[in-house]
Structure 1
Amino acid sequence: MPQLGQRVSGLCEEAVEQQAYITRFLLDYTAVPLRSQIFLRGMLPTRDAVRIVAGAADAVAPNTLVAYEIPLVDNDDEPISAPLALGWARTLVSSSPPYSDTSVMGMSLVRVDTSAVEPAPPVHTDQVLRVLRTLAWPVIETPPSPVLCGFLFTGQDSMRLYFAVEEAGVIAADVRLTGALTALLAALPTLVREEERWTADETDPHCVHTVDLTTW
């Protein structure tokens, strides 16, 4: 299947905010299943859309994952809500993905016509998470900088984090999930801005540069 995707270079502030908002809202579903044994395995930022990556709880191999591309706005050009994106994702993973001759990063890519997909209604767990998230993690006026607008599990002990960096574009940082995590998380905003660390990854159209912090 052919590789697809226009590399994310410039930043649209509204799109980045929307991608970051949906990413934050769906983070819990890396541990809580979307449906049955299907979990969130990534959120990939792309132009005017988010790509929700789904698979089994420990799936990291591209051929075991499916990326569902959902537009950031509806047919009335209004921004979609994160609960609506969750509802669509849950419907989509409830059945076998439709055939697609398109791929991205080795994953099957399904472009979703949201007008033809009925979002699944919220379940009890969604409501519980919404209450607890709102109380424990209230909305703040000043978002973090750079903002996290996506992620992808790349191994059992590694993941790629996508940051929107002003005047640069989306920078992807590869990190390990063990080791000096406290120090790494504190340093990440600085490390992803250090141009001498930037390299190119032609296989990933969701970023303009990558930073390898797996040995940091």
Structure 2
Amino acid sequence: MSPTYDDIAEQQADLVRLLLPYPRVPLPDGRIILGVLPPPPPSEAVRIAVGRGPGEDHENTTVWEIPLRADARTEDLLGGDDVLALERALHTGTQIFSSSRMSSVMGMPLVRVDPTRVRPASTDGADGMLTILRTLTSW
């Protein structure tokens, strides 16, 4: 059974909640997460705006659109840790994307990520700490 639009919207909201602490934590290349938002419906993705910091030019901000499914053949949706691992990997080393996967949104470059072509980065110590804190506050 495929997830309904309500299931997708709920997963997008959960991802926003889980990634809220990360705008203060730099990614491997020094950029930070500036915002997390859903794309227009009925898209099964989440968009993450990343840049040098608040107040920077839109040209220096990149919006990554990450599908909520790592594999289109499965019904399993990515969780916050999965999306964060992909986002970290996107900011580690050089990434090359086809022009067919790029466009713009609100004056910022938009890159549609293919999760099958990105090897997720490993977690760090702060991730474990935030997972424990989230677990304790969710009870």
- Report the aligned-residue RMSD: 1.9
Q: Counterpart of 2:135?
A: 134
Q: Tell me the CA shift for residue 73 of structure 1.
A: 1.8
Return structure 1 stretches of 4+ with deviation > 3 angstroms: 95-101
Q: Counterpart of 2:23?
A: 30
Higher relative contact order (CA 8 A, sep 6+): 1
Any residues of structure 2 matched to 1:6-21 within 5 Å, and which? 12-21=5-14
Unpaired runs of 5+ residues, structure 1, are: 1-10, 140-216
Q: Cα deviation per residue 1:28-79 (whole Å; 9 max; x = unaligned)?
A: 1111112242111111212211111111133543211101111112312311
> Following the alignment from structure 1 to structure 2, what is the Cα–Cα distance between the partners of residues 41 and 97?
20
Q: Tell me the CA shift for residue 119 of structure 1.
A: 0.5
Residue identity (%) = 36
In terms of fraction of residues, the more helix-rich structure is 2
> Following the alignment from structure 2 to structure 1, what is the Cα–Cα distance between the partners of residues 30 and 122?
18
Q: Counterpart of 2:112?
A: 111
Instruction: State the TM-score, normalizing by the size of structure 2.
Output: 0.82
Do the aligned residues in 2 keep the contact of 1:44 with 1:52 (CA within 8 Å)? yes
Secondary structure class of the residue paired with 1:13:
helix
Q: Cα deviation per residue 1:101-146 (whole Å; 9 max; x = unaligned)?
A: 51111111111110110100110111111112221x306xxxxxxx
Pick the structure with greater CA Rg. Answer: 1
Q: Counterpart of 1:72?
A: 68
State the aligned residue count: 128
Unpaired runs of 5+ residues, structure 2, are: none
Instruction: State the TM-score, normalizing by the size of structure 1.
Output: 0.55
